[in-house]
Amino acid sequence: MATAKDNLALVVLCSTLGYKTADDESAVKPLTAAVYNKLEARLNAARFTPSVFLTEKLSDISARLGLTADESSHIEKLMLRADKLGEELERLAERKIYATGRTQDNYPARLKKTMGKNAPVIFFYCGDMRLLDGETVAIIGSREANEQETEYAAKHARISAQNGRVVVSGGAKGIDRIAKESALHAGGKVVTYVSDNMVGYIKKNAEFILWDRLLVLSAFHPEASFKGFNAIERNKYIYASSDYAVVVSSGDGTGGSFKGAADCIKNKYCPLYVKDDGQTPAGNKKLIELGGMPLNEAHERLELQNG
């Protein structure tokens, strides 16, 4: 059974929490998900949980885990951060930001099932994690949306909220923001995955979090600055957490909206519906060619599919 110590061990091993910046060159780099997956397999084979690194001397268990001298040295240096990270987690908890790892019961179950070992080892979150237990719909689109696309996204978010569906978004401007605000103003609930400045996003949306109507998650440092790669990774979590997704607008084979949707189709994260009407952008048509399901009368058809 996973414990709080297991969770702390995962944070120590796999997060940049506690570093001055996520790119602090003087810091020992945390384990990537791929490296941790190999370590996790060794832990399971030896019938250990991650907390063993906090409760046992590494020299006593390294042979059972088959660790090389370099691997042992790396882990040992990371574990020296345990006390500091414990204090950092307490500081975040004062802001109602918590960490959950793949060993924990409240880790996003649908995402873990869909992504498997590609799921992040750690998520930081603020809000009620139970929002992910309901029926979820991702509403996706470009940052620079036109009036017709904005109205379309707002309408779909309102209908989703009225039907008890939780809207999943990425927290960016444009369609993400429109979908989130429309759902919340219609009395609905929203899950937002952010790729940067989680702390700032929480401050701007505190009232909805306090009302248990908004959950904010990040697989990155809560105070991380924007990076394109992180935003692309964040898109995967949106799809992997959703029962289905609706793409309102997409760039013509480029941009985060298109790449995320194409990746969803390729990896089958969830059923993907694509707006297809008289004002369909070229990017939407390309997504349909890749396997996205066209929507002409979106709301009626989705009600039939998911009602």
Last residue of a domain, one of 98, 126, 154: 126
Structure token digits, residue 61: 């268990």
Q: Length of the chain, please? A: 307
| Confidence at residue 144, expressed as pLDDT on a 0 to 100 scale | 82
Output the CA angle 179-129-293, nearest 5 degrees.
40
Whether residue 133 sits in one domain with residue 31: no
Whether residue 90 sits in one domain with residue 147: no
Last residue of a domain, one of 126, 150, 174: 126
30, burial (CB in 10 Å: exposed 0-12, middle 13-18, buried 19+):
buried
| Confidence at residue 41, expressed as pLDDT on a 0 to 100 scale | 96
Task: Quote the pTM value.
Answer: 0.92
Whether residue 285 sits in one domain with residue 215: yes
Whether residue 238 sits in one domain with residue 148: yes
Whether residue 176 sits in one domain with residue 119: no
Full residue range of the structural domain in which residue 275 is found = 129-306
We report the CATH number of the domain holding residue 196 as 3.40.50.450
As a whole number of angstroms, the distance between CA 259 and CA 263 comes to: 6
Backbone angles phi, psi at 125, to 5 degrees: -145, 155
As a whole number of angstroms, the distance between CA 37 and CA 20 comes to: 26
Whether residue 273 sits in one domain with residue 139: yes
74 to each of 69, 81, 233, how far by Cα in Å? 9, 12, 25
Q: What is the DSSP string of 118-180?
A: GS-SEEEEES-GGGGGS-EEEEE--SS--HHHHHHHHHHHHHHHHTTPEEEE---TTHHHHHH
pLDDT tens for the chain, residues 1 to 307:
678 899 999 999 999 887 765 445 456 889 999 999 999 999 999 999 999 999 999 999 999 999 999 999 999 999 998 988 989 999 999 999 999 999 899 999 999 999 999 999 999 999 999 999 999 999 999 888 888 889 999 999 999 999 999 999 998 888 999 999 999 999 999 999 999 999 999 999 999 999 999 999 999 999 998 888 999 999 999 999 999 999 999 988 778 899 999 999 999 999 999 999 877 788 999 999 999 999 876 444 555 455 4
| Among candidate residues 238, 228, 94, the one with its CA nearest the CA of residue 176 | 238
| Confidence at residue 256, expressed as pLDDT on a 0 to 100 scale | 86
Last residue of a domain, one of 84, 108, 126: 126
Whether residue 228 sits in one domain with residue 87: no
Which region, left, alpha or beta, applies to residue 205 given φ > 0 means left and ψ of -120 to 50 means alpha? alpha
| Confidence at residue 26, expressed as pLDDT on a 0 to 100 scale | 55
Backbone angles phi, psi at 268, to 5 degrees: 55, 50
Whether residue 33 sits in one domain with residue 116: yes
Q: Do the beta carbons of residue 294 and residue 288 sit within 8 Å?
A: yes
Whether residue 164 sits in one domain with residue 119: no
| Confidence at residue 302, expressed as pLDDT on a 0 to 100 scale | 52
Q: What is the dihedral sign for C-alpha 205, 209, 211, 214?
A: positive
Whether residue 292 sits in one domain with residue 169: yes
Whether residue 110 sits in one domain with residue 50: yes
Tell me which residue has tokens 């609930």. Answer: 189
Whether residue 260 sits in one domain with residue 202: yes
Provide the number of structural domains found in the chain. 2
